[in-house]
Amino acid sequence: MMLKKFILLFLLITIACGDSKENNVTKTEENKTLLVKADGSYDKIPLEKDTIVLKVMQTRVKSLSSFNSIEEGLEENMKYMEKLANQAQTEGSKPDIILFHEFPLTGYSSGTRQEKMPFTIEVPGPETERLGKVAKSCDCYVIFGSYVRDAAWPDHILSINTVLGRDGKIAKTFWKSRNIKRLYKTKEITTTTIEGVRDAYRKKYGIEEEFPVLQTEYGNIAVSTVQFDPFIYAAFAMRGTEIMLRTATLFAQEDVVFTAWSNDFYSAMANFTLPVSTGYNAGESIIVNPHGEILAKHPSKEEDGIVEAKIPIAAFRKDRTIPNYALEMVKPVFEQYRQEIPINHLNVKKDKLPKTGEEMKKLFDSISRYVPVKTAD
């Protein structure tokens, strides 16, 4: 009995010391890098035009696992993306930015980690090279999400949004910041996000890459797949985001509208389509202005199509500062808050990575700061 209590006390002290050491390292790194300017200004480059055209591609999703071969699936999905991009160039206004949804190339895959790994792409890779030619031919930015594998992160399945520049080259990649948690009763999402490996991510890419902003001649843009997470988007806004481009696997319109409104930036959500009979809230891709007004919305949940809107970026940018948040007022509360699942929860050896959503839930339950730990008497 006494031995068990001693071991438990030792573990608690060890964890506390580890947290303290980690926090000291983190704070030192945070203090070294200027992430937000104190005067409300933010970095940007000169605009090429006063008004830009944003086009959102609402398309069907086909999983690579449903084809006879991965090569066949990638080819069909690629050709469909090329077809829609060509349509975007020839119909309506010429696009400056084309936004696809989260899975136009790979689709969504189920199964274990090892079963899903083949249904990923590499960035850079042949797919980004081919889509780069699309971007170059239409003289616009092309953005899409995908499941990605990376030799630097063995056995991790990454959710990454890639931005292809007007020159056809990769201008920026955006890791997903974090996954929504406790959405399901029996499982959790297994993809690796910045939050899951934050310290290793910082060491490799730098703290400024946690909430990166791409400064372009069409405005400061950022891309994310995160949903229902106001803190994440507030951080992007503080970093100088002017156009927040979002990719989705289903979404709530209210989330997009409020996020744009509360963070004073333009935003768009590209969704995929599904038959209404499935019962899922697919389609209805939208573009929203900083006042929370919907500039454009696709009327269908199951029909593919293109949504477009003009953004008066020069007028919007004039005399603009980052949003006015009540951070000093809420700081005492925020400093005492501890999120349920600690960061770096996937910073483990590859053989220890959860193989399924059920295993991911077991991991979360075991490290949860909210779920009481059961101990023997």
Give the three-state DSSP class for 170.
strand
Give CATH for domain 52-327. Answer: 3.60.110.10
- The model's pLDDT over 196-250, given as tens digits with 9 standing for 90+, comes to 999 999 999 999 999 999 999 999 999 999 999 999 999 999 999 999 999 988 8
- The model's pLDDT over 58-111, given as tens digits with 9 standing for 90+, comes to 999 999 999 999 999 999 999 999 999 999 999 999 999 999 999 999 999 889
Domain boundaries, the chain: 52-327
Q: Which secondary structure element, helix H or strand E, spans residue 198, and what is its range?
A: helix 198-205
d(Cα 203, Cα 205) in Å, to the nearest integer?
6
d(Cα 128, Cα 317) in Å, to the nearest integer?
31
Between residues 304 and 3, the one the model is more confident about: 304
Reading the block at residue 205, the tokens are 């890419």
Backbone angles phi, psi at 176, to 5 degrees: -70, 135
DSSP per residue over 1-38, as a string?
-HHHHHHHHHHHHHHHHHHHHHHHHHHHHHHHS--S-T
Q: What is the mean pLDDT of the chain?
A: 92
Residues 273 and 260: beta-carbon distance below 8 Å: no
Between residues 18 and 215, the one the model is more confident about: 215
d(Cα 111, Cα 209) in Å, to the nearest integer?
31
pLDDT value for 371: 77
In the predicted structure, residue 15 carries a pLDDT above the cut 90: no
